[in-house]
Amino acid sequence: RLVMGLSDEMFSWKLEPGETFDTPETAFSYSANGFSTLSWNLHRLIRSHICRSAYRDTKRPVLINNWEATYFDFTGEKIIEIAKQAAELGVEMLVLDDGWFGKRDDDLAGLGDWTVNEKKLGMPLGKVAEKIRGLGMKFGIWIEPEMVCEDSDLYREHPDWAFTIPGRKPVRARYQLVLDYSRKEVVDGIFAQIAKVLDDTKADYVKMDMNRHLTDIWSKTAAEQNQGAILHRYVLGVYDFLERLHERYPDLLIEGCSGGGGRFDAGMLYYSPQIWCSDNTDAINRTRIQYGTSFFYPVSAMGAHVSAVPNHQTGRVTSFHTRGVTAMAGTFGYELNPALLSDEEKQQIREQIKTYKKYETLINEGTYWRLSDPFMDEIAAWMTVSEEQDHALVSAVRLRAEANQAVVYVRLRGLKPDAVYLEEQSGRQYSGAALMHAGIPLPPFTREYEAYQFAFTELKEAGTLYEKVQKW
């Protein structure tokens, strides 16, 4: 099933003599060798020809986001303390999420008023950013520029800026209305507010969210433009907003986000080289979310974080190791409060960051293979292989545990059949053919949801195993 181009629903465009209309572009690819090759075609297209950020070909900072650590309940000092503890563990950027602006202590108010709530923070936001940079970290910030709460100064001043149909009560998803981005004055007004904050904080990163669907599509400009053109003009307005961010802040890393990936499309990746896959941070659910996303989008575009347990969405408890292995299948980060972690867990963060940094280029630029179907199989397994096929990183997560369970073998892909590979952790040597045809056995499990990582390096010179194989 494909959804692409312009939708017939609510679309009607009046084209005047001499005018032109540009339809949205669509990229097609073909493979006679299965979904893997088709995915690689799309991965290369997106990574090399659609993403254009300064971060497209550079390593991205390991971040910590305060949302699941504090939600709306924070002060400037509390954010600085989270940053301080995270910096000691090797985290490179703090992202301040929802709640820093307007009268924003819950979902009921504040969207549209992009002015810093210094009373809540206890200090200017610029000072918070300055102190975080003093720790050797970058500073990022959350925005949701397309939305407005009715309890906001913006809505009280410009109620006509929001989509509402005259004579009808609007749908108030998450207590939000959608701003009419088909109107330039709306885009101008929101951009001016947010640009002032970005200038004051010198932010390195923006997480641009959109937490509800579009409804009640009706614009006050009905007399000036066909209502059937509103949705298309709306998207052009969003692109205009993002283009302005690019022009004014060429070194800004933008992460797209929409209700957990609802806007994960190639058009948005032109402006944001990574997108938050889902607000569901449960590691087991994430194996399926990231599996599905990988069919079209490269690992370098998938935002993934290690969160606290019990998980805030599912209540599931998984080990810190399992959460880390799962999150390394994307742009790596954390979403928790370091102050609540044990010394052992803090040490695991140090080790996870060290591991991710070691394999970051391989993870983001290597050839991605799906080794299982987590919707059907008892494990979720995936791997990335270097272009030269001399390095590989394999990850696997057990999705269920059974008594007297048989040994599970993970068959690898994309290696050289005649090469000999060293598994770094165990020191064992395997032929590429053996790894791909027989597979590598997972250790016997001791508890549910265990995860494993195997790193393989090709032995360039003939070794003992190779000689024995050849002789045999």
469 compared with 407, residue with greater pLDDT: 407
pLDDT per position as a tens digit, 411-425: 999 999 999 999 999
pLDDT given for residue 401 in this prediction: 84
Sheet holding 420-423, edge to edge: 367-370, 379-385, 391-398, 451-458, 420-423, 429-431
- Mean pLDDT value across residues 369-389: 97
pLDDT beyond 90 at 462: no
Q: How many CA atoms lie within 13 A of 108 on its CB side?
A: 2
Strand boundaries in 6-101, DSSP class E: 63-65, 93-96
pLDDT given for residue 469 in this prediction: 52
Distance CA 183, CA 372 (A): 47
pLDDT given for residue 262 in this prediction: 81
DSSP 121-187: HSS-HHHHHHHHHHTT-EEEEEE-TTEE-SBSHHHHH-GGGB---TTSPPP-GGG-EEB-TTSHHHH
pLDDT per position as a tens digit, 54-86: 888 889 999 999 999 999 999 999 999 999 999
Distance CA 299, CA 263 (A): 16
Q: Which residues contact 57 (CB under 8 A, 6 or more apart)?
A: none
Strand boundaries in 19-137, DSSP class E: 63-65, 93-96
Distance CA 65, CA 91 (A): 11
Confidence of residue 160 (pLDDT cuts 50, 70, 90): very high
Do residues 279 and 260 make contact, with C-beta atoms less than 8 angstroms apart?
Answer: yes
The 3-state DSSP composition of the chain as helix, strand, coil percent (nearest 5) reads: 35, 20, 45
Q: Which residues contact 18 (CB under 8 A, 6 or more apart)?
A: none
pLDDT beyond 80 at 471: no
18 compared with 446, residue with greater pLDDT: 18
Q: Which residues contact 56 (CB under 8 A, 6 or more apart)?
A: 47, 273
Distance CA 62, CA 343 (A): 20
CA 423 to chain centre: 30
Q: Which residues contact 234 (CB under 8 A, 6 or more apart)?
A: 180, 181, 182, 214
- The active-site residue, picked from 130, 265, 423, 424, is 265
Distance between start and end Cα atoms, the chain: 50
* Residue reference for tokens 């963060």: 349
- Mean pLDDT value across residues 276-302: 95
pLDDT beyond 90 at 272: yes
- Which phi and psi angles does 141 have, rounded to 5°? -145, 150
Largest CA distance in the chain: 85
SS3 string of 59-73? CCCCEEECHHHHCCC
Residue 353 is which amino acid?
Answer: I
Known catalytic residue at 345:
yes
pLDDT per position as a tens digit, 337-364: 999 999 999 999 999 999 999 999 999 9
- Mean pLDDT value across residues 228-235: 92
- The active-site residue, picked from 345, 365, 423, 424, is 345
* Residue reference for tokens 């947010």: 194
**Beta pairing class for 63-65 and 331-335:** parallel
pLDDT beyond 80 at 5: no
Do residues 470 and 407 make contact, with C-beta atoms less than 8 angstroms apart?
Answer: no
Long-range interactions of 220-227: CB distance < 8 A, separation 24+: 220/160, 220/180, 220/183, 221/180, 221/182, 221/183, 225/182, 226/12, 226/13, 226/14, 227/10, 227/12
pLDDT given for residue 205 in this prediction: 98
Known catalytic residue at 450:
no
Strand partners, 210: none
Q: How many CB atoms lie within 10 A of CB 318?
A: 25
